[in-house]
Structure 1
């Protein structure tokens, strides 16, 4: 087709320029028709051509060319010289005795590093700048309001004076306006800088995503980290509001009416801290840190009428979801103890675990039909259906993802899978020095800590296993049995609080263990239940506990 008279043409072979493209050489990045494949293969016999169908192009890793030996591809990596090497390089004396690794392994390590940088930029640094921008915007609005109040006070004071004082009133009001404009201009300038930085961060995130998705090893390896640049947060600019001091009728008019104090703008370099993508329930304020009580205080008790409860999940500080030994999930008013709503599982099976999402929707697992379901507007929607795996526990993360811990049918493998909606994002199947971190049992409970650690109470291993966001084992807590009971540590329900403390119910010893985010034992809570199981905390760190009275 003539491109001058056609809006679009089909792709043509790079060799003959006429036939329609059907094949592709991943090595040379050349589009070919079937008739030209043979000619291309013999065009340079020293190259290992990888010819694939056009639809599956770029599926073969593109090994970097050797800078020393022409037409050779580097499939190994010299860790001592920190460069890719080909087979001829390895055969030479230059790399004799050096430690070599497959370049694909180096690629995976590099991509892991890029992914972690991408996660920090996306989940921590960019949300921090968003919070800073919101904070600056709020202070600008507050500054506007306070300056309006200041001008109003001056004007009102002027109304009490003679007409001759109007000129002075106008002058002082103009001075206030000038100070306000100067300070707002300073804040606007910082706002522009922050917006530009956030735009740069988004561009960097997109660049890293392209690198992660690329098969071009040279492109991935050429990625230079810029994260240190963005870790340096901007100073917090705090304008100082001038004060108006009304004068007394004693001196000349200028002194009588009043004056403005000096104003200033301070810049505090260390006033901002890194945050995650989780937003505070009250912007601009932080809840006070609660101290651990020496003795627990029972705030309220709800008798559900069930023989026993297995799971609890806080919908709010006033409402709580529960589930027990039947198919019914119940919503209760915490203060009144009254039943607000009941929902039965779609299959009629007992829910394995329940959780509440950031949007306030109830999520539950059904281990009998291998599903994870969400309740929206009292209608149950299947989100995830597993094959050959059984969902054991579920939790909603600070960024809105779902974490599902699951075991295979033959109870030989346990893994944690991260989902965004119904899309699988990450699989964590942790090993510790060659050994599985989680025991081969199906009794597991899970939660995410404020530092994004994943905390699993492993009843079969009599331990709590904590891994970081990337799935690396941080520590294992194996209990601190009360001397009065001396029974084996038997962890079941697990939750965290606003201070990143980890709380887990000890079924055997009828108490709750509290450890810090690094696994150090802090204290017990005698929860007043014979066999505590489910746990959850509200926004004020009150602990809700389910079990048998």
Structure 2
């Protein structure tokens, strides 16, 4: 060791700042040389100095001073009042009949709490921010690459045009550069915010470690966690990637036909995380409760649809009668005959629903029609020609979604506004069919506008614009039935489950429904349970209450789940409470 480095290792006296410290005052947490010990002991601003040798500092705890009795230290803790107290406080009778503990025992709990916070910051929250930072940088690179490709496409397409076209090229390049700079600046700002937050987390961890390494009980007792602030996760606004869409050359309307810049939204910035989604899981009850069981007398009960919160429609697989039941009294109100829901090819329609005005809608696969019932009279609403309707649901905006099949073409989902079709969902981004002809094609719209369609061994969830968000393939474990996953087990299992791990039977989705928390509920007739997944496709739990063959599902405005339990002789409808 050199002389300079040795001088740096010497601990100096905190009073004179020149002599080497040999003693330490635990009360004031200050280092002292022997010459300054006497002056420090006689100082008026301290009352009970505990001076020890420097090597054994922190050997005794530093108790907080009692506020009512300034000449006393608090060596006890009143749990009823949640504050440190001294012996005079106890003798005064103020804390009579209160539960009093040694303050040193409270320190152990405080330190454990701080350690848990540090563990969460280091193992969960910091990696989340780091992952988001990585995704941000990837998005910046993606924007750079896409903008370069768009620039090349604009140049290539501009070669076919003359002077007027050159003006359009210049204008589009300028707009592209503006979009590029704006989006990159937006992401850079977000990257800067995330880096700053990660730095704050590091400071917090360091501050917590200082408390843990200190013997000052007052700092431990007065500790305030900052994890709630960080646990919310980064607030990141996604940006749209600019692309260029070229149009075929014509001699008229140069500017319109040349093409325009557009943006395509990507999910690259989404980071599903147990840290950010535990609140969704907390909404689920630890134990479900069956509120009502409605015997229907309908063999092979499959389809149900709510009319308000007091009535429910029900229909069976081989039945030509639709029945309306009173939920609270568990009895039938009325029934009437409908057109056959079975097509010439043996496909059964899954489609009954209720409009916002309270009218029943049902699909007729035999005649390829969607019908509405008003004043107990059936009226044809839509005739589909060569397509056979399979399922129907009414969206939050009043549109109608109809799933349908064809002898030769892949199935599709069509959105109708009134009787006008305004959207078709049939293929993925690669041009492959989303649905198979033997899919059951139950439909539901989530609160985030996603469209959920049950298929053979899978549930396809697409955005309202038609692009696929995810495909859920089932998740089963016999030990998990009716048990919410712990955060630890959930971290291990947070993934898409396309292969269907941990199930006893093949995943066989039927009815689908959604609630106010954007949960997606799926009836699994093979495993006799209902799956609950979140809006990102991650499994949360199963509902199993002794159902024989769960089929149709619906959820009312109070988030009560209704399950059509299909049975050979007489199906029943179970009203279930599963949310807190």
Q: Which has the larger radius of gyration?
A: 2
TM-score (norm 1): 0.48
Larger relative contact order (C-alpha < 8 A, sep ≥ 6)?
Answer: 2
